[in-house]
A and B are shown apart, each in its own frame.
Chain A
């Protein structure tokens, strides 16, 4: 198994290594220049996912430059000292690779899925563009237009996304999570080549990055490749401390009404400030996750669905969720679509009654037991999707957690008690902590 994966090509780069293959095993290395290297083994198929994650996202952008992290993500597919624009994707394509990238509030990531014998080449490409990007105006201007069209497709053409953006801006009084990842349109339109390069020079460096290699590989082999390709890269000496402005206490509930002729179906969405997983301290976030599942994780078997859809029949859909991994505390959300003839005002009153009842009456033990069984099964099912496994580690490590935190999470979930969930519920579900949004057609078009 271990040698089969390495063609003659790979052997050029590798010193021979001997080891025992073990699916599911996670190994961590740190290079001298600060690069963290994480290897996740999965020996079911001779393929590999090569990822590089940078600990920088939209929440790290300078004021007035929203969208620069995402814009740079696009520009990373242009040329380097040694590659012409377009060569990067051309090489990946010619090697049967599927590649893409993603930007979030807290991270920017790049990946290629390829046959395992192409791994050295992919790591070489990622190492090259970590420090050697070359940009010219000729590529930057059309790409900025591409991003503006991306914003059109993702946000401006979709009233639901537009409203999401407005609610986040209202929810965060001080934290940069208030800004959309893709950026505000007027700021994207002004982003310059030099600003992108400055951002790149500061943040794209081995001491601000994590290389994750997942698939049919052995840790020692990956370490040797990482040393060869990433080892010579110089660290950045001007990465600012990752301290974002934090939220002050909120004292007034916020209510937003969004009318748009493209909205045909009224709905209620509420966002609360919530908590996040912290290194060595994930219990409350685990309780918050169960709170989301209990209230609205699975339709009519959840509290909101049972009460609002089955019993009172005032809603057509309901859901609730605790947001995923984040570096700073992010949100908790509720969604309800009114049944025909029910106004958003009536629906909101019903939602509030159900939440008050939940806070008073507490948790049905059988319900929590079922959710824990599902969480345990999820540990088995989630091994099937290597992309998801790799992404989970990438998100956790760029959110300030450690590998040990990721591995402790399943046991922490199983250990959460009812009382802990209720304590977290009382903290999160406070009106002063929330933004409640009504989305609806313009009033003249509402017919009840």
Chain B
């Protein structure tokens, strides 16, 4: 009885249109700064997120980690306010500011109360336009970064990630650690941070997403006050580059009970016509938890891991298809074998109609869940702009997913997946896994 009911419901639901019901406005400030805005007046606060293209990839080769340290110091004093005074002022206003440096972008995010938004954003403006970089704060925060780098030397995930980046991208910025190394960070000076600040936080690299208790008319002047004094132009963005790993297996010895394995091969550009077909194919292979082929084969059937995944990484200047798994040292070999087999099976055999239908139902049905809070929506608005997606993408994306045919997705698998080209990095004391030359 219950089973029948389930089937009935599933069938009906498939026919319903599902859209993320959000209305995005493009706002242009009097000073010419553009932002995407979603008004939401039911809670008296504003989530304002900014993104700057370039990110840690803008670091010169001998100044690795400068951008990361620069962003960490933005909350450590401005003008004649020292770090403690700045922090106290933010606490007085009950405003939350976060600053982060990623490979392709920098983000500055604020959560401010409607009741004191101008004062709170005024404080944030001082942080991003006139950072103090004073020597005491510089030394203190540099030490924190160094202690993180130090800890990462025995963190299997960090070791794997850095090793794979180096093998795949060599001397391109993508091959370098975004937080720098113990050597490069130790050699940085406050002057280097000033240079990173000028290079990274500029209006030509800027995108803005705002969600909350503010109207389009109110937002324009706010944007000018907050961002209008940033430099017009920043550093040149990095060159495009190909994923360049030769394929094979690298083993990094670490005395720990469970090995971490990650892998990657060449990917596909975010704006390639077959991107969506490829994205859905990778979801069927190893995305979205239960039901993916990798989870079924590696976890559910064999109990070899707690988590296995694959994904498509569309970076601004390159792309790859990768994945990860963790298994006890004496089981990781079997896990890798199963993963290679699944990669090959998908490449030659493609997908089934049922898999495509399930993936379409999941990807379209769960899309609105990404828009369930002001902060998440603001972050998504920034991400969409950094990816150069059109403003109506939210309303067309599900149609694109639903329009995919079995042949398109199976062809994406044939074209992309290259079991021979897979580059594995295994960190731990794996049994029966040998490095290739």
Contact = CB atoms under 8 A, between A and B. Distances in A.
Interface of A: 7-9, 23, 43-47, 77, 82-83, 86-87, 89-91, 93-98, 100, 113-115, 117-118, 120-121, 124, 128, 141-150, 152-153, 156-157, 261-265, 298-301, 306, 309-310, 316-317, 337, 339-340, 370-371, 373-374, 376-378, 380-381, 383-387
B92 A121 contact: no
A14 to B, nearest CB: 14
The 10 closest A-B pairs by CB, nearest first: A96-B365, A145-B303, A377-B94, A142-B303, A150-B306, A89-B290, A152-B258, A262-B154, A82-B2, A301-B87
A23 B156 CA distance: 45
Given A149-B327, A309-B140, A117 B43 contact: no
Interface size class of chain B, counting residues whose CB lies under 8 Å from the partner chain: 35 or more
A21 to B, nearest CB: 11
Interface stretch (B9-17, B228-236, B411-419): B9-17
A82 B22 CA distance: 38
B153 A264 contact: yes
Contacts of A117: 13, 16
A384 B156 contact: no
A67 to B, nearest CB: 14
Nearest to B142: A316
Contacts of B47: 384
B393 interface: no
A44 B374 CA distance: 10
B148 to A, nearest CB: 8
A317 B373 CA distance: 31
Which among A83, A124, A144, A384 has the highest number of chain B CB atoms within 10 Å? Answer: A384
Given A94-B362, A380-B43, A385-B373, A370 B91 contact: yes
A128 B2 contact: yes
Given A82-B1, A384-B375, A96 B367 contact: yes
Interface in B294-340: 299-307, 326-328, 331
B288 interface: yes
B306 A124 contact: no
A370 B92 contact: yes
Contact of A95 (B92, B365, B371): B365
Contact of A96 (B3, B40, B306, B362): B362
B113 A380 contact: yes
A377 B16 CA distance: 39
Given A113-B369, A152-B257, A385-B375, A94 B303 contact: no
B94 A374 contact: yes
A340 to B, nearest CB: 7
A86 B290 contact: yes
B303 A149 contact: yes
Given A91-B10, A115-B18, A301 B91 contact: yes
A282 B300 CA distance: 44
A53 B62 CA distance: 53
Given A95-B361, A97-B365, A117-B16, 8 more contacts: A7-B13, A44-B40, A82-B2, A149-B303, A152-B258, A152-B327, A265-B147, A316-B143
A232 B249 CA distance: 56
Contact of A265 (B151, B305, B369, B374): B151
B40 to A, nearest CB: 7
Contact of B88 (A93, A118, A143, A301): A301
A306 B2 contact: no
B45 interface: yes
A386 B301 contact: no
